[in-house]
Amino acid sequence: MTDLLALQKSFILSHLGKGDVCADFTMGNGHDTLFLSRTVGENGRVYAFDIQPSALESTSARLISEGAPQNYTLINDSHSNLKLYIKEKIKAGMFNLGYLPGSGNKNITTMRETTIPAVLGAIDLLDARSILLVAVYPGHEEGDAEGRELDALFEKIDRHAISVMRIKIINSPTSPYFFVLETGKISIQEYKDTYGTIFEK
């Protein structure tokens, strides 16, 4: 059967390379941060966000123990504040929604109130021929609601600005799934400068 995590990485690798700028908008235990760090190499840059100090601690320990390049900035803040920290365009971004794996605390989870602004902010930063992945976990109430709101949001995006796919196991409704957003020949800012909005009028 298809490994969804491996599939996510294959999508990222089709857009991201050495020297690029990218972001892990839900740091967690740092698995995606490490993957991104290794992919962009010493001359690249990775921004990673999480509101829980324990996530930064475990991610920092993972990056150091795995010998990751010193190309990352770990940020203890909501991903909805991403524009306070990222001032350049990005070639790739990853959201892995839900709660911190292994924390034992499922009460602290990503929420629609901050997820939607964060995703919109990340979209604004996308460069030409770039990618944004958003993984959704519908097995709990908030995760299901996040997925539904994101689906409604992405349906309104002009396909000439961003191509949006949903990768989902149809006969397993509570299994995780993910959205793939890919830009075309120009950045989102350039698209907005030309057409005013990325949403269908």
Q: Where are the domains of the chain?
A: 4-195
Confidence of residue 4 (pLDDT cuts 50, 70, 90): confident
Cα–Cα nearest to 176, from 132, 136, 143, 142: 136
Confidence of residue 104 (pLDDT cuts 50, 70, 90): very low
Percent of the chain's residues with pLDDT above 70: 94
Q: Can you list the positions of beta strands (E) in the chain?
A: 21-24, 45-49, 72-75, 90-96, 126-136, 162-167, 177-183
User: Which DSSP symbol is given to 83?
Assistant: G
Model confidence, pTM: 0.93
Give me the sign of the Cα torsion angle 34, 39, 44, 45: negative
pLDDT at 101 exceeding the cut of 90: no
- What token pair was written down for 56? 């930064």
pLDDT at 102 exceeding the cut of 60: no
Which class in CATH covers the domain with range 4-195?
alpha beta
pLDDT at 105 exceeding the cut of 60: no
